[in-house]
Amino acid sequence: MPDNPRIEELRRRVLRDPASIAFAQLAEEHRRAGQYEEAIEVARAGLNQHPAYLSARVTLGRALIEVARLDEAAAEFEYVVKAAPDNLTAVRQLADIQQRRHQVSNDTKSGQAAIKTAPAIPLPVSPAPPPPIVPAPAAAPQHPERRAVIDAAPSSVPVMDPVKQPPIDPVLTELEAWLAVLVDERSRRPSANAGRH
């Protein structure tokens, strides 16, 4: 299958001038074409000469995600976020990696739970004694009108049990904390127009 003409053109440019920043475009074209290993190789070679080229790091991180090398991808996106905290692509990709790790962790736990709950040979067990009967405490006398209102109240009103609250997603919690830090840092920066009158 012949290569994409754009890839060929960029490859020639990089071969003519190995110090060219065209490597980032070449890596991105490989990634878009589904050639993830080539994208990783080109991006890493170019980043050896241009380590601060953030868009090349984003391309490298995306290609690493595609080949399930999440730790390496996270390292690239963390580098970008430290250098440019408002780079939304890097922020989103880090969130995606955290979500994938969380999913893998949950899948692993549920797999282990399935192994632990595999049917075992049942042992004979003696039945538990019935619980003792305790008389209910006498209800305090109530006013007849209040009793009628209480009796007429719908029984289908849901009551929130504080023990059964829905679980909080740790990824969202981490992202919210990170965004709060960003907002705080931005509010402390002097405004560009502060000195002008």
pLDDT, tens digit only, all 197 positions of the chain? 456 899 999 999 999 998 999 999 999 999 999 999 999 999 999 999 999 999 999 999 999 999 999 999 999 999 999 999 999 999 999 999 999 888 877 777 776 665 555 555 555 555 566 666 655 555 555 555 555 544 544 444 444 444 455 556 666 677 777 677 777 777 776 655 555 54
Q: What are phi and psi of 73, to 5 degrees?
A: -65, -45
Cα 36 versus chain centre, distance: 22
In-domain check, residue 112:
no
Task: Give a yes or no: residue 65 inside a domain.
Answer: yes
In a domain, 36, yes or no: yes
Q: Is residue 94 part of a domain?
A: yes
Q: Has residue 160 been placed in a domain?
A: no
Residue 32 sits in a domain whose CATH number is: 1.25.40.10
- The CA radius of gyration of the chain, in Å to the nearest whole number, is 30
* pLDDT in the model for residue 157: 45
Instruction: Evaluate whether residue 102 is within a structural domain.
Output: yes
pLDDT of the residue at 158: 47
Within a domain: 35: yes
Give the pLDDT of residue 60.
97
CB-based contact 23:43 (threshold 8 Å):
yes
Number of domains in the chain: 1
185 lies in some domain = no
- Hey, CA dihedral for 47, 52, 58, 61, is it positive or negative? positive
CA separation (Å) from 116 to 103, 109, 111, 120, 155?
Answer: 20, 10, 9, 10, 39
| Collapsed DSSP state (helix, strand, coil) of residue 16 | helix
User: Which range marks the domain in which residue 41 is found?
Assistant: 5-106
> What tokens does 31 get?
């990634």
pLDDT computed for residue 108 by the predictor: 75
Contact 80, 61 (CB under 8 A): yes
